[in-house]
Amino acid sequence: MTMKFAVIATSLTLAACSGPSGLGGAGGLLTRAERTDFAETSSYHEVTAMVDALVRMETGLHATTFGETVEGRALPLVVWGAPEATPEAVEATGKTRVLVFANIHAGEVAGKEAALMLLRDLARGEHAAWADSLVLLVAPIYNADGNERVAYDNRPLQLGPVGGMGTRTNAQGLDLNRDFMKLAAPESRALVRLFGTYDPHVVVDLHTTNGTIHAYHLTYAPPLHPNTASEIDAELWERWLPAVTERIEERDGWLFYHYGNVPGAFGEPVSVPRGWYSFDARPRFGTNYAGLRNRFGILSEVYSYAPFDERIAASYRFVEEVVGYAAAHASRIRRITGEADATSIVGDSLALRSTFAALPEPVAIQLGAVDTLAHPATGEPLLRRLDVRAPEAMPAFIRFAPSEKERAPAAYLVPRDLAVVTDLLDAHGVDYYPAMAPSPVEVFEITEVELAERPFQDRRAQNVRGFYGTLDDAPREPVYVVPVDQPLGRVAFMLLEPRSEDGLAAWGVLPAESLTPGRYWPVQRIHGALPPR
């Protein structure tokens, strides 16, 4: 099969000319993509074997695992820049911590191959200066079960690897990049636990995008939720991502820009003005969730219709520039995240729900063109980008603004028998403690519950409506107190508010029969002094 698809790849002009730096280094170790002239992608076994080989060379790489998949595959994590792979050893360095993870959607495999190449280059001694200020954490194959479900048709129209690629979902059929709030998959819980134990200051999530035909080799996004700490938002929008974009264009000649699509580009009916629209602000998406944890989240979306070798190279260069910026500004990154952790949001008016917001001025979006090839094994169409840049000035709806707000309380009160809620708080790492409920408390009276017609991610979404009022004679019952003045206060707010677009109600975490008009939302609030611990 390897020889067959190497020939196929050459016939489609998919073979690499050069690829990222370090090709063939560290004892001649090659990825499966390289060995097959970019016709195939690495299996789980090949990823772990390459990691093991690099670590055995005693090159400063240390390997561990951070959890298991549904089917029991251990999730590899490689640590560079610390003497050991343990969270304690990493924290003891005092350095800025950067996590790069790939393959959350296992048909989007360029990031996985780029991560392996980066590890090989680190093993060869490249980027050694990064270790002065950084610890790099690399999880190259997050959706490991999906990676093994290789088929030709898992990513229609994507230009290779023509030997097939894995599935978007995990073995449960869940999209892991919609699971960061409800944490229904073991992989999601493992990754969020890693966020807590290793506490990376920066989280880089590597994807591949299809959709609108454009001229960008890669598009990106910072955390999009309006509740993201303002200094994190400003650093990414005003300095970090512009610097990366300029460096890439200067050195590689490639255009990178904020993620987006043009609705109606394929002739489908639309009800919004023509423009460049980002995806979604909700924290169910990993980099948005990182922002609510007061961390720098950076999404990478390399372009589906570029050849596979170019996608890998673009992913590699993006990571290289992002990490290089982090190394050069490591102390500022730590300061910004530390200040966000220490800043109380109690009393702030925060977004419960969000909507698109356009940049102040139109942007010249670089649209592109493709031609169509036939897949050599199936005959199905594949799209190949052409070197065409067709700028069109249009509104850029790549930011989000609150569409509904609520004042953050001092604390939430969770009944002790709501184990499903405390389990989720534990999984996120949100702090809470047992106490007796004070009086008075604020309660949310439900007036309407709208249940989604169809399940999404195995859940029936709920939209709860109602209003807050004060209950002066609340019974003094045992509860768990969730302080909002804590580093994960923004996460607690989005989980526990009944009108949150991504919380307990939205995901149907609480049974629908307990949420009926005329009853109270089971989680109460207080605005004054907290009960003693």
Q: What is the pLDDT of residues 161-183, one digit of tens each?
A: 999 999 999 999 999 999 999 99
Residues of the chain with pLDDT > 70: what percent?
95
Q: CA 484 to CA 369: how far, in whole Å? A: 49
For residue range 441-486, what is the model confidence (pLDDT) as tens digits?
A: 999 999 999 999 999 999 999 999 999 999 998 888 999 999 999 9
What number is the average pLDDT over the span 406-415?
Answer: 98
Q: What is the pLDDT of residues 235-288, one digit of tens each?
A: 999 999 999 999 999 999 999 999 999 998 777 888 899 999 999 999 999 999
Written as one string, the DSSP assignment of 427-494 is: HHT---EEEE--SSEEEEEEEEEEE-SS-BTTB--EEEEEEEEEETT----EEEEEESSSTTHHHHHH
In this prediction, residue 267 carries a pLDDT of 78
Confidence of residue 511 (pLDDT cuts 50, 70, 90): confident
pLDDT > 60? residue 16: no
Label residues 133-170 b or e (16+ Cβ within 10 Å = b): bbbbbbbbbbbbbbbbbbeeebbebbbbbbbbbbbbbb
Residue 43: per-residue pLDDT: 98
- How does residue 58 score in pLDDT terms, banded at 50, 70 and 90? confident
Residues sharing a CB contact under 8 Å with residue 281, sequence separation 6 or more, in sequence order: 224, 225, 226, 288, 354, 400
* Domains of the chain, earliest start first: 2-400 (3.40.630.10), 409-526 (no CATH)
* Mean pLDDT value across the chain: 94
pTM assigned to the model: 0.94
Work out the pLDDT band at 26, boundaries 50, 70, 90: low
User: What percentage of residues in the chain have a pLDDT greater than 90?
Assistant: 90
What is the mean pLDDT of the segment spanning 329-337?
Answer: 98
- Confidence band for 326, pLDDT divided at 50, 70 and 90: very high
Confidence check: pLDDT of 6 > 60: no
